[in-house]
Amino acid sequence: MAHAYGLLPFPLAHIGWAIGKMFRDWLDYRGGDGSIEVKNACDRIRNLFVTQEYGDRI
């Protein structure tokens, strides 16, 4: 919409590329496109085993 009103001095293709790049970077930072709740639960369980000295069992 901002491009349609001439507010952005970039070609439309560059805007699409930038949005895609930011989304892919966010996915990489997040750890993928899977469920973040499952990842967090697994991390908590793994941390519990390590802190309770069962780290050799994972």
3-state secondary structure of 52: coil
The pLDDT score that the predictor gives to residue 25 is 96
Residue 21 lies in a domain: yes
- Among residues 29, 56, 58, 30, which one has the least CA distance to residue 42? 58
Give the number of domains in the chain.
Answer: 1
- Whether 51 maps to a domain, the answer reads yes
Residue 29 in domain: yes
Q: Has residue 56 got a pLDDT over 80?
A: no
- Residue 55's pLDDT band (cuts 50, 70, 90): low
Between 56 and 3, residue with greater pLDDT: 3
The boundaries of the domain holding residue 52 are: 12-57
**Per residue in 3-50, pLDDT tens?**
888 888 888 889 899 999 999 999 998 888 888 888 889 999 989 888
Q: What is the pLDDT of residue 58?
A: 61
Is residue 34 in some structural domain? Answer: yes
